[in-house]
A and B are shown apart, each in its own frame.
Chain A
């Protein structure tokens, strides 16, 4: 590895605010592409059977789905450069069908690649320092992070250097390439959890000790899927120098005791649940104490080298507020709504964080056309140091926009259909691809999201309702995070028909909770009515400043269930 920051001389005009491959990284990714090209060749020639080939294609992010293959591209901690976004657009045009789908793991999926083209796609990704390695399989997956990393005012430290550190540690780690099941890690450095760390196999929260040292609160055993669990704190403070050794100890305990006889019992959350956190903590502590930690000793120079790639861009010194922004808001109500809903406070005076919603009313959550990707790349270069983020909520973030530039940015986004002012509102729905694409799905999820979005198409009504997380999964695997939706919707099959189970009270933040089932499943047509009814009840009952989840917690689930039962008896269509 080299300690040279390759970006330094070209930072202002050709910014690359993300980790840059060194020679080792570049050679490794190129070798993997060549290896997969040969594996595809051997598969097509018949030298490899599908059974033999399947693990290879999965290790490279290639699935076989309902209508075609699907390629999942890793976007480490959700950070993209403009150049990378343009390449994703080019791939969509050349080898797919002109669009991509941003996922809840901050990745991008192509829904229509041909097997024969996949090596060329991976080659094109490697050109811009991207790949699809470890986006599938029983390994440590793409490490995710707070999408406001490095710019949030409530942040102790940018979590991305830690995430990149862990990516390098976990990539092709020989002990962890064949784990009992997939393994997901998320990192946040902020006071408010935007990375859902409590529902990851390992969640890391960057904290500061009383003496001012930076370390990590380590949470283990969270997860969604068919058996949802909130993670438990295994240690309150792990100093940075011990992080890799401590995580190694957790992984060894999981590798040793995790079940391999039943894939549905193989996640670390099941191990933590069955053994209890105290027994797991004791096992981890014992492993940590016994292991040779010298091989995992922290290299501060290497960490600083990595952190250097995430250094703040060259911000201008600006007033805290913008007069031109105030004037534009007064002149253009639609822009004012966009600013009020989609623009967040930035830690640097005069700058703002912009959430670009990929949830137009009636649209497909998380989808972006290649043209929209190019507009986003252009916008990031024109207004934001060429950097973009993908949120686990399936939106795009422009993290460094001058308040003075917001109006021009909004006009640019609006012209591309990217200015929907609904970030965090009821139509900003997380949705997995569901049965429209996914071979595992038991029901469609996208049309449900579209129907709810259309039902609440009145944006002023959405703003009155306020923050409300609706999350939809098309099967029990819960890629749409329905368990942690304030309103969660799970698509199932019931007597040969699609049926939707509603849950209430889920929360993906530090105050995490798993949603509780409202009642019997309903049909697709009934879902918008049910959601509207619940929302109306909330609006009638809420107290000053309460979000939906607050009202649900104050009133209790039984009140919502009672509502359900009473309306059912009255013959209402729910």
Chain B
């Protein structure tokens, strides 16, 4: 198991349309700010187990943990620029992706 360095969230793609999803307290969310945050390795493992369950249930694909930092309000923001891109949409088309639907994620 990888060394746990940062809080983590579980990221996936929706099977039917490929949209990026984040595992929340009661299911998959389209907004990463509502994602459930693992603060320790055992919590991250629990998230992964839920992800595997939903892969088997044919709800999501391409599931993985992403490191995040927490804002003052406790909402997670990915640390790596790749996942920062995924929570928004193409940086060259602000009218597309999640940033278009919700007015722009932070």
Contact = CB atoms under 8 A, between A and B. Distances in A.
Interface of A: 43-46, 50, 64-69, 97, 112, 114-116, 364, 435-437, 444, 446-447, 450, 496-498
Contacts of B85: 66, 435-436, 444
12 contacts: A43-B58, A46-B57, A65-B18, A66-B82, A67-B19, A69-B18, A112-B96, A114-B17, A114-B18, A364-B93, A435-B85, A498-B81
A44 B17 contact: no
A444 B20 contact: no
Given A67-B86, A364-B93, A444-B91, A116 B16 contact: yes
A348 B89 CA distance: 47
Contacts of B16: 44, 114-116
- Would you list the 9 A-B pairs with minimal beta carbon distance, nearest first? A68-B18, A436-B90, A69-B18, A114-B17, A46-B58, A446-B92, A50-B61, A436-B92, A67-B97
Contact of A64 (B13, B55, B79, B90): B13
A50 B90 contact: no
A446 B90 CA distance: 10
Nearest to B20: A67
B53 interface: no
Nearest to A115: B16
B15 interface: yes
Interface residues of B, number: 25
Nearest to B58: A46
A68 B19 contact: yes
With most chain A CB atoms within 10 A of its CB, the pick from B15, B80, B86, B90 is B90
Contacts of A444: 85, 91-92
Nearest to B86: A66
A228 to B, nearest CB: 25
A437 B18 CA distance: 12
B82 A435 contact: yes
A447 B17 contact: no
B83 to A, nearest CB: 10
Given A69-B17, A116-B17, A437-B90, A64 B61 contact: yes
A136 to B, nearest CB: 15
Interface in B50-105: 55, 57-58, 61-62, 79-82, 85-86, 89-93, 96-97
B91 A67 contact: no
Contact of B92 (A43, A364, A496): A364
B73 to A, nearest CB: 24
Nearest to A441: B82
A450 B82 contact: no
A68 B86 contact: no
Contacts of A50: 15, 55, 61
Nearest to B95: A97
A316 to B, nearest CB: 43
Nearest to A40: B16
Contacts of A497: 81
Contacts of A97: 96
Contacts of A66: 20, 82, 85-86
Nearest to B85: A435
Nearest to A445: B92
Contacts of A446: 90, 92
A67 B58 contact: no
Nearest to B96: A97
Nearest to B57: A46
A443 to B, nearest CB: 8
Contacts of A114: 16-18
Interface in B25-41: none
Contacts of A112: 96
B80 A496 contact: yes
B15 A115 contact: yes
Given A64-B62, A444-B91, 14 more contacts: A43-B58, A44-B16, A46-B57, A50-B55, A64-B13, A67-B18, A114-B16, A115-B17, A436-B85, A436-B90, A444-B85, A446-B90, A496-B81, A497-B81
Given A69-B18, A497-B81, A498-B81, A44 B89 contact: no
A64 B80 CA distance: 20
Contacts of A436: 85, 90-93
Contacts of A67: 18-20, 86, 89-90, 96-97
B89 A450 contact: no
Nearest to A48: B58
